[in-house]
Chain A
Amino acid sequence: MIAWLTPAGFGAFAALAVPLLIHWMRRSDRRVVSFAAERYLREQPHPREDRAWHERVLLLLRLLLLTSLALLLAWPVWRGGRAPPPQAPWVVVAPGIDAAAAHAAVDAPLAEWHWLQDGASLTSQLRELDAALAPGTALTVLVPEHVGGLDAERLRLTHAVSWRALPVAAAPITAPSVSTLPLTLSVRYDAPAEAGAPGATEVGVLRAVAAAWAAARVPATVEFAARDTALPPRSTWLVWLGGGDLPPAVAAWIRAGGRALATRQKDGEGEAALSDADGVPILRERHPGSGTLLSLAAPLLPDAVPALRSARFPQELYALMSEPREAPDRAPALSIAPVAPVTTPAAAGRALALAPPVALVAALLFLIERSYATRRRA
């Protein structure tokens, strides 16, 4: 049985009108010849119709060629034989579900029961199973109420799925993977204003923090540059010293996903990200656009922020900045039920692409048409 993947390709049949028109119209332009013996010619009593089909073989070849091209555009496939016999229904149980509870929940005596592997991604296992399963098999999936280890793609299966969520006493929670990327800081400061004793300037404080990180073998690198240096890549933290409103370029950089720490900013915006021992917020966190901005109301100086004198400050700052950022991968099971199955050729059995032979036929027709159209006429 031939099926058509892109039936819109049949619109190309409209192109058949072109050779038909050409072969229909060309007769009308008769050549005018000066002929002295015209008096011996007689107008035929029934002159052959001007608009007659001529070069019929060529016309047929051209029509066949266009037909084959239109069929090619419609992308024919051959679906083998009749539909396969119905299979026993499958019940697939996600890890973490008690076998007894599962058997109690599903009333399918003839079903084949399968337990998914623990540890591997639930969604990818389901997709693989869906691809391998014979078409038309009824599928029941039992999942816990909360499912983890999801990916960004919505689950899309070709089989119709009965999606059941069962309560689980202790849902398996996998430890979040910690980001192992080294922390990089890029400090921008006003060089003339920051000239002075190491302990009396903001740059000096940051150099001290960097030295503390280096001493503790923390995977962090800190680089210092003048304010007008080009902005670093977005994976780097930008530390903007000297206060004042952020330049538009820096603000845009943050909104586009950058992360920055700025001192001497207006107070009271954002929620506290780092507080001192008394609970007074030091750094406040905001999220302009898709970026992150940690702002410090005071200058980054021990006199203004006494917490800087604490020996734990570099550690806390590192913890704040190197906070693992993991995409959310847990969701209630019912909210991620597979969307309606899409019918693909694979769903109805094995399909054989007929495009190559049709393309071959079209190429052959083209060659024959060319050789016939340019043949030597007597």
Chain B
Amino acid sequence: MIPPELRARLRGLRFDSAFPAGGLGLGQHLGRSRGAGVEFEQYRAYEYGDEPRRVDWKLYGRSDRFFVRDATRDSPRNVWVLIDATASMAQADALRPGYSKLAAARLLSECLAEIAAAHGDSFGLIGIGGAGLQLVPAGAGVRHRDRVLLALEALRCAGEWPGDASTLRPVWERIEGDSLVVMLTDGFDAALSEFALRLAAARRHVLSLGLVSCEERDFPFEGGFVFRDPETGAECRVDAEAARADYLARFTRARAELARRLGAGGVRHVDHCLDEAPDVPLRRLLSGGARGSARP
């Protein structure tokens, strides 16, 4: 459940971005569909088949040629949340054992569903992990939001990122072009980053939110440890104090490299540490850079 104070802070957030919404029907976002409407888009030459009432007769009087007046319509946005449900998402901090990365992803998804429901956008959910693909089809409205919340509760993380294309095919089938895709992941899986880049290259607007636990960020361990990768089972025996500097350097470099790669591919990436409030990364992700240049 979203805490009340968080819900209050979500009020100002909306899925504005630099690209037009691709949804069909009427919505609140700048759309790509043209035709009859109030917002003038362009004049174009008359073609056979255009309704005569859409011809701008005043312009005909001035120029003696037929022009058709085009307008843009406000469209709804299709928002998809793609949750990485691999085993590494079970990572939680020792100080806050119940709040794993998956729990954070659940909370963030709830926030996004809340925002979508508030603005009439259609919202879909996809969880991908070792157990396969869990999908809630896109839909709008408060009841659909509740359906999404129910599916979120049932989401479990296990295994590794599925490598075969057949598992991922529903993603390509369901997510239309011009949809907004928010990926909630820990960013450790190179295959997942590749997938995000491919989605972005295929005209989906992808935002990536990298979940980082405090222990991964600060490495506060002391003494001897055996660190085990929950997905591959690889083990590393280290003395924490001796390994800290090297680890922090490599980790920071890897995150920066991830953000750079995704950014180069048109995917905006924001890291979110588990001790931050969930609305902070959403604010940076949704409102960053798009203000004022909404129209193409």
Contact = CB atoms under 8 A, between A and B. Distances in A.
B216 to A, nearest CB: 4
Contact of A40 (B90, B91, B231, B251): B251
A42 B228 contact: no
A36 interface: yes
Contacts of A41: 227, 236, 238, 243, 247
Interface stretch (A43-51, A73-81, A212-220): A43-51
Contacts of B226: 30-33
Given A30-B237, A41-B238, A35 B243 contact: no
Given A42-B243, A48-B239, A34 B228 contact: yes
Contact of B216 (A31, A32, A37, A47): A37
B137 interface: no
Given A30-B224, A35-B91, A37-B216, A42 B246 contact: yes
B250 A40 contact: yes
Interface in B215-257: 215-216, 221, 223-231, 234-239, 242-243, 246-247, 250-251, 254
By secondary structure, the B interface counts as mixed
A32 B213 CA distance: 18
Contacts of A42: 236, 238, 243, 246-247, 250
B251 A37 contact: yes
A44 B238 contact: yes
A249 to B, nearest CB: 77
B122 interface: no
Interface string A268-303: 000000000000000000000000000000000000
Given A31-B225, A31-B226, A48 B251 contact: no
Nearest to B228: A34
B254 A40 contact: yes
A44 B216 contact: no
Q: Choose among A36, A38, A41 the residue with the greatest number of B CB atoms under 10 Å from its CB.
A: A36
A27 interface: yes
A41 B232 CA distance: 14
Contacts of B224: 27, 30-31, 48, 50
Contacts of A32: 225-226, 228, 235
Given A42-B243, A50-B224, A37 B188 contact: yes
B114 interface: no
Interface residues of A, number: 19
A312 interface: no
Contacts of B235: 32, 38
A332 to B, nearest CB: 81
Contacts of B223: 30-31
A40 B237 contact: no
Contacts of B236: 38, 41-43
A39 interface: yes
A38 B237 contact: no
A40 B234 CA distance: 12
B27 to A, nearest CB: 38
Contacts of A43: 236-238
Contacts of A47: 237-239
Interface in A13-35: 27, 30-35
A43 B246 CA distance: 11
Given A36-B91, A37-B251, A44 B239 contact: yes
B186 A36 contact: yes
B237 A33 contact: no
B88 interface: yes
Contacts of B231: 36
Q: Choose among B227, B229, B251 the residue with the greatest number of A CB atoms under 10 Å from its CB.
A: B227
A92 B203 CA distance: 126
A35 B254 contact: no
A38 B225 contact: no
Nearest to B211: A36
B225 A33 contact: yes
B10 to A, nearest CB: 28
Q: Which 8 A-B pairs have the closest CB atoms?
A: A36-B88, A38-B229, A35-B227, A30-B224, A36-B91, A37-B216, A40-B250, A32-B226
Given A35-B230, A39-B188, A42-B247, 11 more contacts: A27-B224, A32-B226, A33-B225, A33-B228, A35-B215, A36-B213, A36-B229, A37-B247, A37-B251, A39-B234, A42-B236
Interface of B: 88-91, 101, 186, 188, 213, 215-216, 221, 223-231, 234-239, 242-243, 246-247, 250-251, 254
